[in-house]
Structure 1
Amino acid sequence: MSRNLSAQIPYLRLILVALIGTILPIGCAENKSPEPLPLERWQEVVIEGKTIEIQIAFLEHEMKQGLMNRSSMGENRGMLFFYDPPKQMSFWMHNTHIPLDIGYFTADGILREVYPMYPMDERSVKSRRKDLLMALEMNQGWYAKNGIKPGDSFDVDSLKKALLNRGIPESRIPF
């Protein structure tokens, strides 16, 4: 019997090594940070004391889709497009059925330009500035109705929290 056992030891060692190799990585796995919130989740931010809910698009396919094919959007809801690095921006309304206003923001969270955008209008709405980090699309007339104008700004703490929740690395957030 001891002879059979000694013949089986190499196989038992192989099985033991395989088990350890399978189990060890599971126990040593890093604690990962929470999963970022998906685009579909609304997040609260504050702009000049006004709380709004936004969806944040920062992946290329999310930016390309934007607010296309939606038939409506809540009164204080919008979509924020986050770019890195800052740049001149240009948006259009391809397959977008909601009349919108677009606000362009610099990296300090300050609103610099606002333009109306019309449903299904494929002409570009281009920014004048070339140092813009974010664009915020809201229902048409929202900026004027709420007294939000160029020079006004996001509460950067609420914006930073929303960007981090969305999965944008802190190293890419300039405030």
Structure 2
Amino acid sequence: MEYALDLKQFWKRAYGYEINSKSSCILFHDMFSRLDKALNEHNLGQKVTEAVTIQVGHAETLLPLLALLGFFKDSEPLTSINYASQTQRSFRTSRMLPYAANFILVLYDCGGGDIRLQPLVNEQPVAFPGVTHRQESMPLYGDVRRHYEELLKGCDFETVCELFKNPAEV
């Protein structure tokens, strides 16, 4: 039963199709603009005006965001025929999206201009995929921004939607 739900969510809201995660692009940009604002205020010696931002949504909002960021992505996609080889998968919606699931980003000033960003999923530290080394869960904020620089350039929904049109309609 768990695999059946994971299979559905994988293809409907996560890694099954690239367009699934693109729906979270605006939320992704909002998240980074808030982090940038807090960091800029901190660096200027000002009081951080939004020390905490809470946005509430559903699992259907959180899953595409986690997929856009690359969390819980396995090397092989989930399919109906590879159940036996997926017993150690990290894409498990029951663990990623329990009731009251949450995603937290925390900025840390470690001194000397060393600003780090720690992601937590359901209050558990996780590593940014492709950013952190040696299972370090708090990379430099600049390294995180560089990793996601293509996404940070903007949300081009027209181009994304064109990619998924029915070829017969074009």
Q: TM-score, normalised by structure 1?
A: 0.24
Structure showing greater radius of gyration is 1
Larger helix proportion, structure 1 or 2?
2
Larger strand proportion, structure 1 or 2?
1
The one of the two structures with greater contact order (alpha-carbon pairs below 8 A, sep at least 6) is 1
